[in-house]
Chain A
Amino acid sequence: MNIITKFKSMFSDKDVDDKEPVQDNIADEITSITSEPVEEDKPFSEPEPVVRRVVRVPAVADDIFPPNDENKVLIKAQPSANSGQCLFMVNRPLFSGHSWWFPSFESAEGSPLVERLFSLEDVESVLVNEATITITRKDKNICDWKLLGAEIGTALRELLTEEGPLISQKIISEMPSQDEIQEGIQKAIDEEVNPGVAGHGGLITLEHVAGNTITIKMGGGCQGCSSADLTLKEGIHSSFRKFVPQVGAIFDETDHAAGLNPYF
């Protein structure tokens, strides 16, 4: 006799044994409701979604300059979305195979191209990469790049027409090897960058090194995070340049739109 049967028998004037089969049935029902999940119906269950691997192939790039204008110095300006920077694309090489970041006028010594650019008002820093120049302006509140862009265009055109050296020979001769740069950046990631972003579940990986130009990928909590750009420019760039002062352009290859677990 189970405990429910005994309990009910205390309030019954009939013989307990007459009731026992019925009480056992009730007890069985209670047991079946409380301890066994309903397997058959599963009203809210759905089939497991098929997880596919997303293939990314680089889009076919359009030629930004007409091929029949090779003799002319052609320059296109592309302001960034936040307007603090502008990319200038030139139809001829400026620093083949390398890139260099000039944070101040003093750092431009011996590089006529960059000395000339720093002589313009409102230029804060200059990044030269292959056939492009990225200018960061001092006054971040000015969104219109037309005026400064025209001055930069004139300066570039004059220098390129003179056909003299553009970047200091000292920079080129003292450039570390690609292996040394890779080793230094990996050390920066392991010792400073990743321990720093780990608190937010972030993870930075070094994807590619070409000369002194590097490409990284932001994963974990950094992927898709609204502060990823700030983290990259204020934190990661500084750390990389502290460990490897000769590092040039730093690219982020992260597909932030595909982030599943960003830390906001």
Chain B
Amino acid sequence: MPKLNKFRIQIQTGSEGIEEPARFCFNSHVLPLEELSGGTKAGEILEGGYAVGSVAHSMTLIGPEKGTWSLQKIKVDFECENTPPYSVEYPAVELDETTELDIWKDPPLSTFDV
């Protein structure tokens, strides 16, 4: 499991937004996103991140305390130790008070042309 130095996340909200701050869960620790710009209301794009500096086991985007959060697109830029930066994009999904979205992905294995 790699050490995640930091990550940036871009969340594009669809038709149903939320009023509360976006939170994520890293290795079972609930944390707020930092260095925020934009918003989480319908049609808005939120950008944030966190300098984690820890070995990653799991990372999720937590659903709202109340109501539904429809996410149009989620893009996560990861910076892990000893691997080149990589990005992962997720398609549209809905979160509510009972759900959280798995947003962790191990660094891709390296490839070469033959």
Binding site for B on A (CB under 8 A): 50, 52-60, 64, 74-81, 88-89, 146, 149-150, 152-153, 255, 257-258
Bound CA span A57–B88, Å: 12
CB-based A-B contact count at 8 angstroms: 69
Query: Among A55, A60, A78, which residue has its beta carbon within 8 angstroms of that of B110?
Result: A78
Residues of B within 8 A of A (CB): 1, 57-58, 60, 62-63, 88-91, 93, 95, 97-102, 104-105, 109-114
State whether A257 touches B113 (Cβ < 8 A).
no
- Chain B residues near A149 (CB-CB < 8 A): 112, 114
Q: Which residues of A contact B105 (CB under 8 A)?
A: 59
**Min distance, Cβ B66 to any Cβ of chain A, angstroms:** 12
Report B-chain residues with C-beta under 8 Å of the C-beta of A64: 111
Q: Binding site of A, secondary structure by majority: helix, strand, loop or mixed?
A: mixed
The answer to whether A78 and B109 touch (CB under 8 A), given A52-B99, A55-B99, is yes
Contact, CB under 8 Å: B57 / A150? no
Bound state CA distance, A52 and B61, in angstroms? 11
Q: How far is the CA of A88 from the CA of B112 in the complex (A)?
A: 10
* A59 x B63 contact (CB < 8 A): no
Contact flag A76-B88 (CB < 8 Å), given A52-B99, A257-B57: no
> In chain A, what residue has the closest Cβ to B25?
A52
Considering the complex, give the chain B residue whose CB is closest to the CB of A78.
B111
**A53-B99, A55-B100, A57-B93 known; A258-B113 Cβ under 8 A:** no
Chain A residue numbers with a CB within 8 Å of B57 are 257
* Cα distance A122–B89 in the bound complex, in angstroms: 38
Nearest to B114 among chain A residues (CB) is A153
Q: Give complex CA distance A255, B91 in Å.
A: 19
For A55, list chain B residues within 8 Å (CB): 93, 95, 99-102
**What are 16 A-B interface contacts by the 8 Å CB criterion?**
A54-B101, A55-B95, A55-B99, A55-B100, A56-B102, A57-B90, A57-B101, A57-B102, A59-B90, A74-B113, A76-B111, A76-B114, A77-B113, A80-B109, A149-B112, A257-B58
How many angstroms between the C-alpha atoms of A113 and B35 in the bound complex? 54
Closest chain A residue to B60, Cβ basis: A54
Nearest B-chain residue to A53, judged by Cβ: B99
